[in-house]
Amino acid sequence: MIVRHILCHHAQLIAHPVGDGNALELNSWGTAMMDCGGDARAIQVLHSAAARGMSEFLLTHLHFDHYSGISRQPPGTKLPFDVDQLFLPALPLIKDHSLTENFALTLFTMNKILGGKSGIPEQDLIDGFTSLNPTSTSPSHAFLSKGDSFDLAGIPFQVLWPPRVASDLVATSAKNAIDVFEKAIENNEQAKEIRERLRDQAAQAARRAVQRADEHDDRSADASQEEDSTDNEEFIDGALEIPETLINANRAIRRVANRLSLAFRCGTRLIHLGDLERAELNQVVTDLGPAKEFFGMIAAHHGTHFSSKMNRLRALHLVVSNGSRRPNLQAGYRKIARFIQETNVHGHSFLVF
Ligand SMILES: [Zn+2]
């Protein structure tokens, strides 16, 4: 194991064009997917990764454009893969146990309303994979927070985000999302019933967050404030009839999910900025220390999020997963990156690092 990490070996990254979603394939001594897109195209992506022996899947954050493609396949779709390991961002402790539990409950309920099988992300992912290959064994899953290390496709990564304890900004956004959601379901008995059924799982998620926060007391300084851009649209494909009030609630919930997105790096070879918002991007860059040069960079939030502190970063290669609905790469990226590949412009984008 140690020897393998000392020997610097190459990896290949493929950004599959999946419209406005995100699907990155990582190939080295193994094959892994980082998200798989939110629509029917996910199956082609997963099929090609399966042919290369995909056995791991990492979900950067809880947005449907990054994973719901797994469960949006025609009934009877089968894939010849055996995913044995899932990685997901850990839910941090949001101020206290009760706010954390309430936020988890709101998130799970919303997921279920939007068509998730159970509403609980790890469970829905596991179900999605096992239904695509009923003979496979159920994958194990691990939650990741800042400070953790993990191997993906045989490449060692360090987790930069989310922290184990959320910032005040996240707590405020989470509280707001819960309020908007509760108002939206005030007269919706069906939604309230769904929520009641998910209480135990939400309590479990909150207990896990408290435990992780206690293990590693990293109550860091609050993420520096910076006005966030307004592009937070999560494109939900499919003809779901959802009232406008609930769409607003979903927007508020997903904004928090962005703030809790995974970001990670492999030394200075590759940095993946997930779908982080600007305040969190600033904090991640601050945590990196002085100016940093990366060989490869995955742009934040499909290239639409960029923070002022990112000006101290440099990337030889930038990979952007974007589609026609958000084609505009933030100008800042053009200043810090030398070679840029965008799935909206170039289709499949490749990087060997
Ligand atoms: Zn996204």
Residue 239 predicted with pLDDT over 50: no
Q: Are 49 and 31 a contacting pair, CB within 8 Å?
A: yes
Q: Are 263 and 253 a contacting pair, CB within 8 Å?
A: no
In this prediction, residue 57 has a pLDDT band, given cuts at 50, 70 and 90, of very high
Q: What is the CATH number of domain 2-352?
A: 3.60.15
Least confident piece of the model among 22-36, 56-70, 181-195, 213-227: 213-227
The per-residue pLDDT for 242 is 78
Distance 255 CA to ligand 1 centre (A): 11
Distance 303 CA to ligand 1 centre (A): 10
Distance 259 CA to ligand 1 centre (A): 12
The per-residue pLDDT for 150 is 97
Distance 107 CA to ligand 1 centre (A): 16
Distance 261 CA to ligand 1 centre (A): 10
Distance 217 CA to ligand 1 centre (A): 30
Distance 36 CA to ligand 1 centre (A): 11
DSSP string, 67-130: HGGGG-SPTT--------EEEEEPPPB-SSHHHHHHHHHHHHHHHHHTT-SSS-HHHHHHHHHH
pTM value is: 0.92
Residue 223 predicted with pLDDT over 60: no
In this prediction, residue 227 has a pLDDT band, given cuts at 50, 70 and 90, of low
